[in-house]
Amino acid sequence: MNHNNFDVVNMAKEENELFQTVFTVLLGGGEKCGVCGKSVYAAERQEAGKIIYHKLCFKCSECKMSLKLNNYAQADKVLYCKKHYQEIVVAKNTQSTNVY
């Protein structure tokens, strides 16, 4: 069997990807959820604000409503629905910027 350099590089790359997959599954490596801290796998992955979440963990920290990418807000890595973001984050920032 005669392999050229391209074949050898591809085989090494495939072996490395397989090793990484096995390592992730067996040892719990990989991306961690920004809410629960557990491993996130591709089928349950949600990314928002450069943070990875489980789809089931992607909910408002106040009311626990499930969120979507078009209806979430985030402050200091904490997730909110639009209503609670306004009530908690915006209201707090408005109060703290008033100088008397």
Q: For residue 44, give the nearest of 36, 54, 35 by alpha carbon.
A: 54
Give strand ranges (E) for 1-100: 45-48, 51-54, 72-75, 78-81
Name the β-bridge partners of 32.
39
Q: What is the pLDDT of residues 35-46, one digit of tens each?
A: 999 999 999 999
pTM to 2 decimal places:
0.64
Domain borders along the chain are: 31-97
Q: What is the pLDDT of residues 6-51, one digit of tens each?
A: 665 666 667 766 666 666 556 656 899 999 999 999 999 999 999 9
Token pair recorded at residue 62: 């106040």
The Cα–Cα gap between 73 and 68 comes to: 10
Domain 31-97 has CATH 2.10.110.10: yes
